[in-house]
Chain A
Amino acid sequence: MKRTFFFLLFVTLLTAGCASSTVEATPPPQIDTGVDPDSWALIPAGEFLADFTNEEILVDYDYQMMVTDVTNAQYADFLNVALKDGTISIVGDEIMGYYPGDIFREYRHEEEYAAGDYPLMPLDEKGLRLDFDSTTFTAKPGYENHPMVMVTWFGANTYCEYYDGRLPSAIEWEKAARGTDGRPFPWGNEAQQTNANYYHSNDPFEDVIGRMGDTTPVGFYNGQTHLGFETEDSPSPYGLYDMAGNVYQWVGDVIPYQHYRLLLGGAKDVYAVRIRAWVINNAEPVYFSPNAGFRCAQD
């Protein structure tokens, strides 16, 4: 009996440890959510309640933000155009682009980012949802309308600036995510599995990949039923989708004295408490991840 138990335990652990990730192997099911990734939402000037302390902050100008994260298809289009006109270049296994640099104060732990070329994204990394045939970029089948991931802050910033936009500031992002009434989540006060893609939220893509899950198409949580999974319509008060969960979003702020960049909104592999609007993550601007994407803002 004891032997059988330990044998079964051993086999369970062994199989769990040897199970390969199917991230690359299986194309995800194609889902058209009906939410247009090219659309923009207006966020009007005014005060809003920021942070978990609900501090009143005034944003005294109107601005626009993309309704969804930038998708793989959109980013592939950008790469093709920008590569052709010389805005970006391929160096080794990376796509590089110019950045004018941060102010450097020689502070403890501070990293210097002088003017120069920086990596926008890797070309040969697992987790990338783009294919490149040495001339053209395309989104991997099934991932066309999923958020662009494996993109550095430089990659996000260059994309937005290329189209005469910019990355939103953290304050702009938070206001766009939670509106003016102090809610912690874009759709309201509680997070359910039907609202957003977070760790173990049981969306159809978790069945394929496992508990860490995969990205869901932008606008997935729009009140429709996809692949038998019922969602609630979960936009922010201004109509933005995926402002909590799915992928972290780079914002434009440069943390002074350190030069980390903020990643907001939580992602598919964090618990629901970490997708509250004020919870921050940060990383070096050269960081890329299957959990990090972005969307742009404009005045």
Chain B
Amino acid sequence: MKAITKRFQYFFLSTKGLALVAIALVSVVTAIWGTLSGPLAEMGINDITVRVLGMDLVPAEREGRLIMLYHSIAMTVVAILVYYITDVVQMKKHERATINATVTVGYMFALIFGMLFAYFGHNWIYHGLFIAGQTLMYFGGVLLAAALWPWKKEYYIQDPKSEYAHTKGGMDLERAAFFAMAITTLGSALLGAIAGASFGNGFVTFLAEDTVRDPNKAVLARGVIGHLHIMVALTGVAITLIVGKWYDFKGIMHKIAMPSMIFGSIILALGCALMIPAQYYAHLIIYVGSTFVLVAGLLLVIYGWGRLIRDRIAEQGIEKASFGQKFKALFHDPVKWGATWQMVYMNFCVTFVGLFMAAKLDDLIRRLPLREERITLTGHWHVLAAIIATIMLLYFVDLMGLKGKARKWFGWLVIISSDLAFGAATVFALKRLFVSESDQQPLVDTLDLLTEIGLGLLLIVIGVYMGYRLIDLFKKNGRWAKDLSEADL
């Protein structure tokens, strides 16, 4: 009994344990639900999954199921981000404990009961608990925002010459950036909640990508579109700020990046909300907000890569490093470098593609059938969400203390496999711009293969690591016991 209690304490009273449980749960959901579509479905595995688990998949309810699946996974991802934030941003111990407890119950309710309702018959008690879980997540967000309140004097930077961004009065602008992200996330969640309640009430579910060519979208349909865009973007902002903490981001670039991130988050959120009353201007405002956020991300990357090189060279005791030594030093730790490299790679697969699509909307994209435009849209946001997930994973294994060769293997395999998959998926999404339907077969076969190899390898790497952590839990004095002894919750 004591052994079980100890392990429960580890799972729920330490940042590492909380993150481990959440990532394990989302991995299980991904592994099972991944069989329902894509290559595994083509192999007929989906039939086995449906039969064995007793799923009830009504064809007319597919869109509704997907929306619940997205939200169930999103709640878990947000919970993980909250754990990371409460771990790296200064706050009181009771605040950290309350926030983590609230979001833990919240995401678990949302994930478990959301999936039960969507895929295993419609028991309305489950639906109620799914909503209750999301409500708790929201409440956890309110508590987080309160804890992050940047005007608390005790968190002011006292040293006027500090290398960290701050106002003249001493307000910590990094803390303010976390606060701005939290507040805009709460506002944007509300936008989704209002639209969701309206559509859910009439059982009219739709995927935003299916409405892209509807010339007269309903007001709340535009609300849904604004909501989903800003939520993914703010998740990106959150992980960028967390990685900034990890890199100990400071100096002049920090002083430019933090205000930029604050303005960017607020402008982005306003732009997405403007989707409802003024769709045309919303796009322009979103571009402005995105630019601020991207500049902040770019500055982090520039600082981070310099920092990685400097730290490694100092570690090696080299006084005057050659270009080759610096180059090697940059890639010494693939886990840490990978987190910022994925941000750079994201631009090739997401930002530049998005800008190109927007610039060529009338000339190219709207000349294609809806199906092709839909593929580019879904590819676009799936790749963005997945890249954010890989950054979170790299941060996670660092948090868990992965070291040595295992760290290098994990880092490189995550980078190579995910970039292979995301690169191939991006080309696939844009294929119609350079190959006709009649000629696409060899290209599609190759891209399918590359995507499947990349994703397969990525899932294996995650699976191996999670397996290692699972085995560790059976050891009396495994790593978990050490982590628990260091936990401060």
**Which 6 pairs, one residue from A and one from B, show the smallest C-beta to C-beta distance?**
A127-B438, A283-B369, A126-B438, A184-B59, A17-B446, A21-B441
Residue A125, interface by CB 8 Å: yes
27 contacts between A and B (CB under 8 A): A9-B453, A17-B442, A17-B443, A18-B442, A19-B442, A21-B439, A52-B60, A52-B61, A52-B63, A53-B204, A109-B215, A125-B436, A184-B60, A199-B42, A211-B42, A212-B441, A255-B215, A257-B215, A270-B371, A276-B60, A281-B369, A282-B213, A282-B369, A282-B370, A284-B367, A289-B369, A289-B437
B362 touches A16 (CB 8 A): no
Listed residue (B58, B60, B443, B445) with the most chain A CB atoms within 10 angstroms of its CB: B60
| Contacts of A245-293 to chain B: CB distance below 8 A | 255-258, 260, 263, 269-271, 273-274, 276, 280-284, 287, 289-291
| Contacts of B442-489 to chain A: CB distance below 8 A | 442-446, 448-450, 453
Q: A19-B442, A273-B62, A289-B437 are in contact. List 18 more A-B contacts (CB 8 A).
A: A13-B449, A17-B445, A21-B442, A54-B60, A109-B366, A126-B436, A185-B59, A189-B58, A189-B59, A191-B59, A200-B42, A210-B441, A210-B445, A211-B42, A255-B215, A256-B215, A283-B370, A291-B437
Q: Chain A residues with Cβ under 8 A from B58's Cβ?
A: 189
A23 touches B438 (CB 8 A): yes
Q: CB-nearest residue of chain A relative to B374?
A: A281
| Contacts of B121-152 to chain A: CB distance below 8 A | none
Residue B37, interface by CB 8 Å: yes
A281 touches B370 (CB 8 A): yes
B60 touches A127 (CB 8 A): no
A271 to B453, CA, bound (A): 21
Q: Chain B residues with Cβ under 8 A from A90's Cβ?
A: none
CB within 8 A of B213: which of A53, A212, A258? Answer: A258
Residue A38, interface by CB 8 Å: no
* Chain A residues at the B interface, C-beta cutoff of 8 Å: 9, 12-13, 16-21, 23, 52-54, 107, 109, 125-127, 182, 184-185, 189-191, 199-200, 209-212, 255-258, 260, 263, 269-271, 273-274, 276, 280-284, 287, 289-291
Proximity string of chain B (363-386) to chain A, C-beta cutoff 8 Å, 1 when within and 0 when not: 000111111000000000000000
Proximity string of chain B (341-379) to chain A, C-beta cutoff 8 Å, 1 when within and 0 when not: 000000000000000000001100011111100000000
Q: Chain A residues with Cβ under 8 A from B361's Cβ?
A: 109
A109 to B448, CA, bound (A): 33
A209 to B442, CA, bound (A): 10
Q: Chain B residues with Cβ under 8 A from A125's Cβ?
A: 436, 438
Q: Chain A residues with Cβ under 8 A from B362's Cβ?
A: 109
Q: CB-nearest residue of chain B relative to A267?
A: B371
Residue B198, interface by CB 8 Å: no
> How many whole Å from A227's CB to the nearest CB in chain B?
21
A185 to B438, CA, bound (A): 27
B contact patch SS: helix
* Chain B residues at the A interface, C-beta cutoff of 8 Å: 37, 41-42, 58-63, 203-204, 213, 215-216, 361-362, 366-371, 436-446, 448-450, 453
B371 touches A290 (CB 8 A): no
A16 touches B59 (CB 8 A): no
A191 to B41, CA, bound (A): 13
A54 to B368, CA, bound (A): 29
Q: Chain B residues with Cβ under 8 A from A126's Cβ?
A: 436, 438-439
Q: Chain A residues with Cβ under 8 A from B37's Cβ?
A: 271
> How many whole Å from A255's CB to the nearest CB in chain B?
7
A107 touches B449 (CB 8 A): no
A184 to B57, CA, bound (A): 12
> How many whole Å from B441's CB to the nearest CB in chain A?
4
Given contacts A54-B60, A258-B213, are A19 and B445 in contact (CB under 8 A)?
yes
Q: Chain B residues with Cβ under 8 A from A209's Cβ?
A: 441
Q: Chain A residues with Cβ under 8 A from B442's Cβ?
A: 16-21
Given contacts A52-B60, A273-B59, are A260 and B437 in contact (CB under 8 A)?
no
Q: CB-nearest residue of chain A relative to B442?
A: A19
A274 to B61, CA, bound (A): 13
Q: CB-nearest residue of chain B relative to A278?
A: B60
Q: Chain A residues with Cβ under 8 A from B63's Cβ?
A: 52
A41 to B369, CA, bound (A): 30
Q: Chain A residues with Cβ under 8 A from B369's Cβ?
A: 263, 281-283, 287, 289
A258 touches B215 (CB 8 A): yes
Q: Chain B residues with Cβ under 8 A from A107's Cβ?
A: 215
Q: Chain B residues with Cβ under 8 A from A283's Cβ?
A: 368-370
B370 touches A190 (CB 8 A): no
A54 to B202, CA, bound (A): 12
> How many whole Å from A90's CB to the nearest CB in chain B?
21
Q: Chain A residues with Cβ under 8 A from B60's Cβ?
A: 52, 54, 182, 184, 276
> How many whole Å from B113's CB to the nearest CB in chain A?
24
Q: Chain B residues with Cβ under 8 A from A255's Cβ?
A: 213, 215
Q: Chain A residues with Cβ under 8 A from B41's Cβ?
A: 271
Q: CB-nearest residue of chain B relative to A288?
A: B437
Q: Chain A residues with Cβ under 8 A from B367's Cβ?
A: 284
A260 touches B446 (CB 8 A): no
A127 touches B437 (CB 8 A): yes
> How many whole Å from A32's CB to the nearest CB in chain B?
26
Q: CB-nearest residue of chain B relative to A280?
A: B370
A281 to B367, CA, bound (A): 13
Q: CB-nearest residue of chain B relative to A260?
A: B213
CB within 8 A of B441: which of A23, A199, A258, A287? Answer: A23
Q: Chain B residues with Cβ under 8 A from A52's Cβ?
A: 60-61, 63
